[in-house]
Structure 1
Amino acid sequence: MKWLRFAWLNTLRNRRRSLVTVAIAALGTAAILLAGGFALFTYQGLAQSAARSTGHLIVGMPSQFSRDEDVPLQHGLDNVANLRARLLADPAVRQVLPRVEFSGLISNGEKSTVMMAAGIDPDSEFAVKGPFLKVTAGDVLASRSQGEVMLGEALARSLKAQPGTSLTLLASTTEGALNAMDVTVKGVFSTGIPEIDKRLVYTDLATAQKLLVTQRVSTLGVFLRGMDDVAPAQARIAAAHPGLAVQTWLDQATFYKSVKALYNRIFGALGLIIGVIVVFVVTNAMAMAIIERTREIGTLRAMGTLPGQLLRSLALEGMVLGGTGAAVGALLSLGVSVLLLIVPVEMPPPPGRSTGYPLQIAIDAPMYAATLVAMVLLAMLASAWIARKTVHRPIVEALAHV
């Protein structure tokens, strides 16, 4: 404690120099935490979006995930009500959503276009997922109303459809025959991805099954209490239903994997650049602080202070300055992160999307702790490494240093 007190008092002797060193360490710490927090927020947002789209777990027949279907729902699930009840019995399961996926044509009588359709349980779907669609006209589907659809914005524009417009769905049944059904547009939505909005159609589960002439569903999306429950719940459900395949949201998240791989390279290069700049700037600041005190160090040596004692004192000074700067930088980063929650800032739309997203910085305790420790160690090592040569200089040379 005595040496730490000496180090603290030494930093107060030249307040301007110490303030500059602390400011450099603070800005370096803040830059690392803000860049890392933005990367972490991006990954968390992508993961949550992927899990909300498909479910934390996806239950289906093994062939559903490994083979193409010759006819709709060839590899679908039977006895869905019983299976859904058994899945809901798991304490980690919040909701189980059935889904029928099929393709076909949608027509307004004058024009027909290809559609990618999904039959859902509307009440449960929108209750669990929340506002995952931006409704631009009309309203969302309801389970009690059958024979209604929601169209992607670009698809509705192509068919000149609006809420209340009558359309016709055409699709192959499970027997391979062609079936048609008249439906009414309930709403128009935007997913934020123009290419998807050109083809996507939502309808209720009963309408989809009636069109395909089946009681099967493609898959069951299992929504859990949280992301941490994914691995344990997958193991339990797979063990309880050995005849079924249980995939996680990550197995289905092709977009998440590709974007994360790209961002890993971008954020990795950015982090490396910031890290190198911080190392050199902090090291240079500590070097200037020590070199300016060469004559002082020579005087202490002449008075009998051992080189090891000087090294320890200077390293502790580096720890005090680095620690103070790191703490200030962490508070600065925390303040910016909280400010972005209070005052939203919208990011421009990324490639392939038509809507932006809020800029936020994740506050991750392990990342803050690791950055603080790294900054303190960097300042200490920089001080000790530079002081090593200075304290071992001949006393006469040190005293004559200008």
Structure 2
Amino acid sequence: MLFSLAFRNLARNFRRTLAMVLTIGIGTGALLVFKGFNVGIMNQYRDNTIHARYGHGQINMKGYHNSVYEKPWKHWIEDYGSLKENLAKVPGVKLLFPRVNFFALLTNGEMNISGKGQGVDGKAEFSFFNTLNIVEGKNLSNEKEGIILGKGLARALNAKIGDRITVLGSTIYGSMNAVDTYVTGVFHTGSKEFDDSVFRIQLDLAHLLLDTKKVESVSLGMKGLGLWENIENFVADSDIDLESIPFHVLDKVYYQHSVDWLDAQFGVIQIIILVIVILGIFNTVSTSILERRQEVGNLRANGESRIEVLKLFSNEGFLVGVFGAFFGIFVVYAINLSFLKDGILMPPAPGLTRQFHVKIELQEWMAVQTFIIGTVTSFVATFLASLRVINQKISDLLRSV
């Protein structure tokens, strides 16, 4: 009965109701957009880290990641074939990427530049590491003698696609060795230090240069984000002395520190937005109730008790909150699916030199949370304003204009 009467009261004064619904809708919509933007940036950082450099994590010999060795190849994984078979049986494992890192000298016959090489399985990595920004040519795939260079390294060598580059290095036994390659692509990660020094060649070519079949580490592509625990359990039960390192530890400086910093910053901004939204809704709803003091006086004069009037107005506040919050969420979803489906173009983040798109990633828990905030705020504002009005004398209420 009260809900029906409250709904008719709202419909009777459409302009006033519309103003309150729009205020609540804009407030809850703004809060929902900010939450979606926040999640979008965090996920963008995460996906770039996973699909450009590290995968979901890597496996290497225990203690290797945090140690510096004079002869690091003595601490590499020897029997990769056996490890590969066992890892393939772990639930959630989709792809395996054996790698070796080494230092070498690159020469094009005119100049020599030192760099940090990565021997990778180009064919396996081609589809998974799809966020590596290739600015010229293409990523490594089936090219047996292909090499891709960081943008700064390519500029220093004045290298173009198809140019021959000789990689000079030493084998694990100390003798000099060299392999001939040709440039297939140039990449740009946005990290100047990385782009100025790193190059990638095929793992078989790196093994030939180093004269070994060992692998330094094995990066993994999982079927989902929550499956790394399976790898940790595998390592714990393994006969080999291994360690597993998730991607957020491998890239702690760029990824984890950036995410922690952004999370703290967004937390403060979210509190500010939340306070502004709540105050805006509270002010609009309270003003609407105060304008209806004469109506409250008439109800009281006709025998309605304070509690009944309070219930009526509280129900109105609840309904307005429901309509407003639903309207705000609906509009945000509609805009996100139409005008913002490609995301928002953002300037380079700290440590990067290229722009990137951030999608507004709306999730169910966000919609529920903002819906509750909008509805509860409207209800509380109406309740408090009504409480203030109904405690006035009937004569004072009837004289109100």
- Report the TM-score when normalising by structure 1: 0.93
Summarize the alignment of residues 53-132 of structure 1 with structure 2, pairs less than 5 Å apart: 53-130=53-130, 132=132
SS in 2 for 1:74: helix
Q: How many equivalent residue pairs?
A: 399
Please show how residues 302-313 of structure 1 align to structure 2 within 5 Å.
302-313=301-312
Q: Please give the secondary structure, in 2, of the residue aligned with 1:66.
A: coil
Provide closer, same or farther for how the CA distance between residues 386 and 197 of structure 1 changes in structure 2, counting only shifts above 3 A. same
Q: Which residue of 2 aligns with 1:151?
A: 149
Residues 87, 237 of structure 1: 8 Å contact kept: no
State whether residues 234 and 248 of structure 1, in contact with CA within 8 Å, keep that contact through their aligned partners in structure 2.
no
Letter in 1 for 2:205: T
Cα distance between partner residues in 1 of 2:161 and 2:313: 74
Distance (whole Å) between structure 1 residues aligned to residue 124 and residue 76 of structure 2: 20
Q: Which residues of 2 match residues 1-400 of structure 1 at below 5 A?
A: 2-52=1-51, 53-130=53-130, 132-137=132-137, 139-143=138-142, 145-241=143-239, 243-254=241-252, 255-340=254-339, 342=341, 345-400=344-399
> Cα gap change, 1:72/1:237 in structure 2, threshold over 3 Å: closer, same or farther?
closer
The range that moved more, 20-29 or 95-104, is 95-104
- Displacement after TM superposition at 1:230 (Å): 2.2
- Deviation for aligned residue 1:234: 2.8
- How far apart in 1 are the matches of 2:93 and 2:169? 33
Q: In the alignment, residue 239 of structure 1 is paired with which amino acid?
A: D
Once the two structures are overlaid, the 10-residue window that deviates more, 346-355 or 12-21, is 346-355
Q: Name the CA distance, whole Å, in 1 between partners of 2:236 and 2:203.
A: 25
CA distance in 2 between counterparts of 1:93 and 1:14 reads 61
Instruction: Report the Cα distance in structure 1 between the residues aligned to 2:343 and 2:276, rounded to whole angstroms.
Output: 30
Q: Secondary structure of 1:296's partner?
A: helix
Letter in 2 for 1:146: K
- CA–CA distance in structure 1, aligned partners of residues 338 and 122 of structure 2: 36
Unmatched segments (≥5 aa) in structure 2: none
The DSSP-based 3-state class of the residue aligned with 1:185 is strand
Residues 343 and 89 of structure 1: is their aligned pair in 2 closer, same or farther, counting only changes over 3 Å? closer
- The offset of 1:164, in angstroms, is 2.9
**1:314 shift after superposition:** 1.1
- Give the CA deviation at 1:199: 1.2
Computed over aligned residues only, the root mean square deviation of the Cα atoms, in angstroms, reads 2.0
Q: Which amino acid aligns with 1:280?
A: L
Q: 1:90-117: per-residue Cα shift (whole Å, max 9, x none)? A: 2311111101112232222332222121
Distance in 2, matches of 1:341 and 1:208, equals 44
The CA deviation at 1:67 is 0.6
**SS of residue paired to 1:63:** coil
Question: Which shifted more, 334-343 or 301-310?
Answer: 334-343
Between the aligned partners of 2:273 and 2:350, the Cα distance in structure 1 is 26
CA pair 293-131 structure 1, distance change in 2 beyond 3 A: closer
Report the alpha carbon displacement of residue 296 of structure 1 after superposing the two structures with TM: 1.2
Greater shift, 194-203 or 362-371, is seen at 194-203
How far apart are 1:123 and its partner, in Å? 0.4
* Contact kept? 1:98, 1:217, Cα under 8 Å: yes
Cα gap change, 1:386 to 1:176, in 2 (>3 Å):
farther
Are residues 217 and 343 of structure 1, via their aligned partners in 2, closer, same or farther at CA, if it must alter by over 3 Å?
A: closer
C-alpha separation in 2, matches of 1:347 and 1:353 = 11
Amino acid at match of 2:181: V
CA contact (8 A) 2:60 2:244 kept: yes
Q: 1:392 to 1:341 in 2, by over 3 A?
A: closer
Deviates more, 1:254-263 or 1:16-25: 254-263
Relative to structure 1, is the Cα distance of residues 242 and 3 closer, same or farther in structure 2, using a 3 angstrom cutoff?
Answer: farther
Task: Please give the alpha-carbon distance, in whole angstroms, between the structure 2 residues aligned to 1:204 and 1:251.
Answer: 26
The amino acid that maps onto 1:165 is D
Aligned-pair identity in percent equals: 27
Which string of whole-angstrom CA distances, capped at 9 and with x for unpartnered residues, describes residues 167-187 of structure 1? Answer: 222334324454433333233
Letter in 2 for 1:308: I
